[in-house]
Structure 1
Amino acid sequence: MGTMSLGLKRVVVSRWRPQKVGSQQLASARMSGAMLRGPAWLAMGLAGGRRGRRAAMRGAMAVGVTEVVFRSERVASKSVVDSEAAAAGAFVAATALESLPWTAPATVLGLATIGASARRSGPAATATGAALGAAAALATLRWWPRIDTSPADAPPAPRRHRGAVDADGAGLTLVANPSAGPDGSDGPLEEIRQGLPAARVVALGGDDDLLEVLGEAAESAAALGILGGDGSINAAASVAMKHEIPLAVFPGGTLNHFARDLGLDTVADAIAAVTDGTVIEVDTASIADRAFLNTASLGSYPELVMARERLEDRIGKWPAMLVALIKVLRTATPTRITLNGERRDVWMIFIGNCAYDPAGFAPATRSRLDDRRLDVRLVDGSHPAARGRLMMSLLTGTLARSRVYERRLVDHLEICADGSSAMLATDGEAFDGPAEFVVAKHPRSLLVHAPTN
């Protein structure tokens, strides 16, 4: 019995004893692991939507950290930590943080790599590697926070505004901006015609003025619909408020910030919101008498937004913001303003309609659309080496504690810029504004169709 037990122990130890591998075998194992996960990342990036792209980007960041830490052949050959297991752990954890539908296939691929690593390096080195890889994925949250994509809350509108549009779309006049969005195809418009056959649809012509068309459409409508991006939606909201009718938002732009905060990720979601008849009240804001639904800005921030949005849909908001910020700050100079009676030198000012998350200069989502607050964030240009301090705080994830960064929640701003005018922007649309202007909050001023939940 003792001999049999000893033999069994020898078999078990032999089975899990790390195998010594040469540099060629180690390189081959690393290449096979990269081939195993590479197609999955590509699939997530191409077919996984916004969350899939974020998961792929976060995974690449986490694996990059593990590759730097475990590149040493000396450490790998001693099987202290298995670098392939670390990369697999980073891959699975990053996917779980960003994209629930992709977590299961990512876990299967990650476990396959971890299993191969255990046979090569042993269970201890493999477990340590996988744990450190997962920790690297979690560490990316310090620089690139995970965003909450659940719809923002807002109160229901008075009962008299519900049911203004019939389930087949009767009473709705929709203005479609064909120039909005990444491809300008007719697919969304055909989907709307099928889902809301009784709705009146007006396609914007090349020489048409958007505000004029919206105004004419609203005169005979029980509700005004808009198919387009944030700029078109902003214009439609101004017209809907003027006529005191609900707005129906159909996402047709590239980023669709306001639609996403409403929980309208697709045209099908918007159709369902109209047929269900749910109407809510949301806050709006204005800068220099121009209304905005999402954000306004001045100083170098309008240029920063335009540079960021060119990259955002491809690499994610935070990486795009970092690249854009480096580009803008390289040539930008502080703007001298008077802010609520106080003289300030500022690099840039962000103003959000309601409080945004996360902190910093890549705000992404709102938890409420009726909090009666303006979210003001600025970079103080009067501090010595403000440019370098800002970049360092971004790279180290300490922007919220930086001396050059300020955040306030207010309901009113009075701003006077030196010079005869100020470069302003609302919801991504830049314009020349007056030198002296007011930023104001308008609580629950817009009626809008939203999902029932």
Structure 2
Amino acid sequence: MAGPEIALEPRPAGVGVLIVRNPASGADVLRSDPAPLIAERLPEAVVHELAEGEALDDVVAAALEGSAPPDVLGVVGGDGSVARMAHLARRHGLPLLVLPGGTFNHFARALGVDGVDAAIDALAAGTGLSVAAAEVSADDAEPLTVLNVVSLGTYPHVVAEREERINDLGKWVGGVVAASRALREAEPVVIARHGRRARVWSVFVSVGRNAPDQVATMQRQTIDDDVLDIRIHHARGPRARTLSSLAFGRMTAAALRGLRLMPPPTDVEQILVREIELQVRPAPGTPSVYVHDGELEEQPAEGYTLRVRAVPDALRVYAPHAGAS
């Protein structure tokens, strides 16, 4: 998965590093608190824990306007928090430090950062990668940075359902309940591209080329590949096949394939492009939403135009080099 290796400024004690932690990330996952490790290994870093309702953008803006503005932006959180900080790092031309603290940590795993220690090792050594990304926008909205995938259809419906239940049931149980309800109520979404219309269960737009045998390409497989790998699951089969839109691991996909719940290859259109524009019309009564890196974006009920484009060398990120111990 490694991309072009680059040299970044080594910061063994964390001087000039702002680290923002999102305590809500991965709340249902059993893991040790990274705060003591960060304090021990990066005593000179400025660490800020997001309060409820506090915006990451405001925290970074205040730090950059202060008397000692940071030279590195770091984040402890899941893919959504990392993508938001990556957007700010791009905006201000600063390198990014990813300290995995979410449920799946798709982007950190793609970087080869398997834990907080590995991220700090890379920061101390000054090793990094040049990373391709994507930008997504709906209608006239400002583009947002995407690190892994943009999706519409069944999976965003599940995320929307889960958000309604997460406070009462927690992320994992809420996710199971949301998936069950979303699959019972799944309706095809109508998309149009270049004048061609189609009814689809889902669309996944992955940053970089992805595994050829999957529909739900939730984790990127490359770091510097500046193309969009698009999977369009056409609504030609039974509703049960919408399960394939939730099978974002090879073992899960293999299990569904064994149960004959994965769509045949003829139902999944694959496109490699550097940018795409889709007109999206959700079914009446279903959520008008799309998801990027696990973050839900609500859209007008009557539909919207979704644009995604690949961005080469979008980001400099601290990460271990190939062969690093």
TM superposition score normalised by structure 1: 0.57
CA drift of 1:427 comes to 0.9
Task: Write the mapping of 1:180-199 to structure 2, written as runs, cut at 5 A.
Answer: 180-182=25-27, 187-199=33-45
**Corresponding residue for residue 265 of structure 2:** 402
Structure 1 position 415 matched with structure 2 position 278: yes
CA drift of 1:389 comes to 6.1
Letter in 1 for 2:292: T
**Corresponding residue for residue 295 of structure 2:** 429
Secondary structure of 1:451's partner? Answer: coil
Q: 1:207 to 1:330 in 2, by over 3 A?
A: closer
**Corresponding residue for residue 100 of structure 1:** none
User: Which of the numbers 213, 217, 237 marks the counterpart of 2:63?
Assistant: 217
Q: Which has the higher contact order (CA 8 A, sep 6+)?
A: 2
Structure 1 position 449 matched with structure 2 position 318: yes
CA contact (8 A) 2:21 2:48 kept: yes
Task: Write the mapping of 1:46-85 to structure 2, written as runs, cut at 5 A.
Answer: none
**Corresponding residue for residue 147 of structure 2:** 293
Secondary structure of 1:424's partner? Answer: strand
2:194 and 2:2 mapped to 1: Cα distance? 30
1:156 and 1:400 mapped to 2: Cα distance? 38
User: Which of the numbers 105, 126, 129 marks the counterpart of 1:280?
Assistant: 129
Greater fraction strand = 2
1:235 and 1:227 mapped to 2: Cα distance? 12
Deviates more, 1:396-405 or 1:250-259: 396-405
Letter in 2 for 1:188: P
CA drift of 1:209 comes to 1.4
CA contact (8 A) 1:306 1:428 kept: no
2:189 and 2:258 mapped to 1: Cα distance? 24
1:201 and 1:195 mapped to 2: Cα distance? 12
Q: 1:346 to 1:367 in 2, by over 3 A?
A: closer
Task: Write the mapping of 1:262-273 to structure 2, written as runs, cut at 5 A.
Answer: 262-273=111-122
CA drift of 1:368 comes to 1.7
2:132 and 2:18 mapped to 1: Cα distance? 23
Structure 1 position 172 matched with structure 2 position 24: no
Structure 1 position 440 matched with structure 2 position 302: no
CA drift of 1:306 comes to 6.9
**Corresponding residue for residue 239 of structure 2:** 387
Letter in 2 for 1:411: R
1:336 and 1:297 mapped to 2: Cα distance? 14
Task: Write the mapping of 1:5-44 to structure 2, written as runs, cut at 5 A.
Answer: none
User: Which of the numbers 214, 219, 226 marks the counterpart of 1:360?
Assistant: 214
**Corresponding residue for residue 208 of structure 1:** 54
Q: 1:292 to 1:433 in 2, by over 3 A?
A: farther
2:109 and 2:224 mapped to 1: Cα distance? 16
Deviates more, 1:293-302 or 1:394-403: 394-403
Task: Write the mapping of 1:237-316 to structure 2, written as runs, cut at 5 A.
Answer: 237-288=86-137, 289-304=143-158
Q: 1:341 to 1:370 in 2, by over 3 A?
A: farther
CA contact (8 A) 1:412 1:438 kept: yes
CA drift of 1:262 comes to 1.0
Aligned length: 290
Task: Write the mapping of 1:19-168 to structure 2, written as runs, cut at 5 A.
Answer: 152-157=1-6, 159=7, 162-163=8-9, 165-168=10-13
CA contact (8 A) 1:283 1:372 kept: yes
Q: 1:371 to 1:417 in 2, by over 3 A?
A: same
1:422 and 1:280 mapped to 2: Cα distance? 36
Secondary structure of 1:205's partner? Answer: coil
**Corresponding residue for residue 54 of structure 1:** none
CA contact (8 A) 2:157 2:289 kept: no
Structure 1 position 348 matched with structure 2 position 194: no
Deviation string for 1:37-67 (max 9, x for gaps)? xxxxxxxxxxxxxxxxxxxxxxxxxxxxxxx
Q: Identity of counterpart residues, as a percentage?
A: 34
Task: Write the mapping of 1:321-332 to structure 2, written as runs, cut at 5 A.
Answer: 328-332=182-186
1:243 and 1:391 mapped to 2: Cα distance? 40
Secondary structure of 2:34's partner? Answer: helix
CA drift of 1:415 comes to 1.0
Deviation string for 1:358-384 (max 9, x for gaps)? 622343644421111112112112x3x
Structure 1, unmatched stretches of 5+, are: 1-151, 315-319
Secondary structure of 1:406's partner? Answer: strand
Q: 1:258 to 1:439 in 2, by over 3 A?
A: same
2:160 and 2:102 mapped to 1: Cα distance? 15
Secondary structure of 2:60's partner? Answer: helix
CA drift of 1:216 comes to 2.8
